[in-house]
Amino acid sequence: MTIRRASPADTDALRAMMATSNGYDRPAARAMIVGFAQTWSVPDGPQEVWLAEVAGAIVGFFALIPHGADQELDLFFTANDAQGTGVGRRLFQALAERARALGASCVVISSNPEAAGFYRRMGAIDVGVTPPGDGIAWERPKLKLSLC
C-alpha cells in the first residue's frame, strides 16, 4: 500500500468513495454525504488530504485540518471492498504520523456514529458529543486521539 498526498486530479475518485460509502446507510445520512460529495474537492490551503493506493487503485483517504495547535480529522473513508483488510488501520496510523509531523499532540474526531467503534479501536477516547450543525442533523461522538 502506498500513501500519498492527494491532488485535485483525485477529486472525482474521492467523491465517488464518499458517495457510495456503506457507512452512510440511514436515508438522512446517505442524502447528506451524497450532497456533500457532489461539491467537495481536494482543497488548497491548510487542510491536507492523503490517500492510500493498492495496485494503482485508491482504497482510502483522510483529511486533516488545523484545530488550534492540534489537528482535526475532517474526513476518513475506506473503500467498501477494502474494509476488514487492514487498510483502514494502516491509513489511520499514517494519519497519526502526519498529525505528529505537523506538531499536533492530539487529533480531534467528530465521528460518524457508525464509525466511532473503529476510532476507539485505534486508541481514540470519547470526550463528548458534537451537536448537529454544518449540514449534519444528528449528534456525533466526539473523540480525541492522543499522540503523546
pLDDT tens profile 22-35: 888 888 888 889 98
Range of the domain at 95: 2-146
Of 136, 144, 21, the C-alpha closest to 76 is 21
If one counts the domains in the chain, the total is 1
Distance in angstroms (rounded) separating the CA atoms of residues 126 and 142: 6
By the 8 A CB rule, do 82 and 91 touch?
no
pTM reported for the whole predicted model: 0.93
Of 95, 73, 82, the C-alpha closest to 22 is 82
By the 8 A CB rule, do 73 and 14 touch?
no
CATH code where residue 67 lies: 3.40.630.30
Whether 134 shows a pLDDT value over 90: the answer reads no
